[in-house]
Amino acid sequence: MADALRARIRSGALRPGERMPTQAQLAHEFGVERGAVRQALRVLQSERLLTNVSKGSPATVAADPAGALTGPQAPPLPTTVALAPRIATAFAAEHVEIDAVCLTSISLTLAIGEPLRQIHAGRLKPAKVDVRVLLPSRDIDLAFPVPVEGGGDDWVHERWLAMRNAQGQVLQHNLLALRATHGIDVRVTFRALPFTPPVKLYLLNGTEALFAYYTLTRREAEADHEQPALYDAQGTRSMLFAFRQGAGLRDTTFVEQSHLWFNALWGTISSELVLTS
């Protein structure tokens, strides 16, 4: 429920200063108890998207929800929580520009699902969408995921490669389909990095940078298989730090330097990437 309401706020379906539906209305819409409604509203209040959350009158959308998850006061949030609403807000622009550095593009593919629904529902209609994604090359020895004991990691690499290609193909297909269905000028480009990125980075419309570390953990083998334990990172759970141009010198400089770093990688050591096995 919090994800759905957050997306409505980010897309402008719920406007700054507007009163939310009553808790009774939300409980009926989502088919949940009032306690679940209050919990979802408190989550959005903690993100500074809502004000006046109480058992009485309906909550109110914050005066500046666009900056609630970015800027010096923004709390870091898991990628699955923070990325989707920021992507949805980015798609409200006439020209959408998204650059990403990541391991498989799973989080990006999931996050773009919400603005795609908004476009198909007629609530968003960008004129142009440009997406550039940097992913590890298939030809390198990955730093992770790797077996804990080392050696014999061909199956790990093949599984990662299949996931990288599948997620990239879904992302590409869903975005390019907007040309035929809505007449939107779409360009999606992938390039390959000669190293495993230790961080993930998303750059939105030249004004925001969302950054997270890939933190490695030991993942035990599946019970019904003989596959060994792995050192791996679960990128969807990585804490995403948000920076916004104009939110102070620190944020502005980080956004600018992140764009310089991305463009340098894109134009120098990266190579053509074809999403095939």
- Higher-confidence position of 90 and 4: 90
Count of beta carbons in the 10 Å neighbourhood of residue 56 = 7
Residue 66: pLDDT over 70: no
More confident residue, 3 or 172: 172
The residue with greater pLDDT, 263 or 4, is 263
Give the predicted TM-score (pTM) of the model: 0.76
Residue 159 pLDDT > 60:
yes
DSSP letter for each residue of the chain? -HHHHHHHHHHTSS-TTPBPPPHHHHHHHHT--HHHHHHHHHHHHHTTSEE--SSSSPPEE-S-GGGTTSSTTPPPEEHHHHHHHHHHHHTTSSEEEEEEE-SS-HHHHHHHHHHHHHHHTTS---SEEEEEEEEE-TTS--SSSEETT-S--HHHHHHHHHHHHHHHHHHHHHHHHHHHHH--EEEEEEEEESS--SEEEEEETTTEEEEEE--EEEEPPPTTS-PPPEEEE-GGGSEEEEEETTS-HHHHHHHHHHHHHHHHHHHTT-EE-----
- Are residues 114 and 229 both part of a single domain? yes
Q: Is residue 236 part of a domain?
A: yes
The answer to whether the CB of 184 falls within 8 A of the CB of 126 is yes
56: domain CATH number?
1.10.10.10
Residue 83's CATH number: 3.30.870.10
- Residue 8 and residue 114 share a domain: no
Q: What is the 3-state secondary structure (H, E, C) of 158-183?
A: HHHHHHHHHHHHHHHHHHHHHHHHHC
13, 33, 66 - which closes a domain: 66
Instruction: Grade residue 221 by pLDDT with cuts at 50, 70 and 90.
Output: low
**What confidence tens digit (pLDDT) does each residue in 91-146 have?**
989 999 999 999 999 999 999 998 999 899 888 899 999 999 999 999 999 999 99
Average pLDDT, the chain: 88
Q: What angle do CA 87, 270, 263 make, to 5 degrees?
A: 50
Using CA atoms, how far apart are residues 52 and 270, in angstroms rounded to an integer?
Answer: 49
State the pLDDT at residue 72.
62
Do 41 and 86 fall within a single domain? no
Q: Note down the domain range covering 13.
A: 1-66
Whether residue 277 lies inside any domain: the answer is no
- Same domain? For 93 and 138 the reply is yes
Residue 60 shares a structural domain with residue 122 = no
28 with 41, same domain: the answer is yes
The answer on 156 and 40 residing in a single domain is no
The predicted pLDDT at position 208 comes to: 93
Answer yes or no: do 127 and 22 share one domain.
no
- My answer on whether 43 and 101 are in the same domain is no
* pLDDT value of position 38: 84
51 shares its domain with 99: no
- Percentage of residues of the chain with pLDDT beyond 70: 91
Q: 29 and 98: one domain?
A: no
pLDDT at residue 226 tops 80:
no
Q: Looking at the 3D structure of the chain, how many domains does it have? A: 2
Q: Choose the final residue of a domain: 66, 87, 107.
A: 66
Lowest mean pLDDT among 40-54, 171-185, 216-230: 216-230
Q: Say whether both 167 and 60 belong to one domain.
A: no
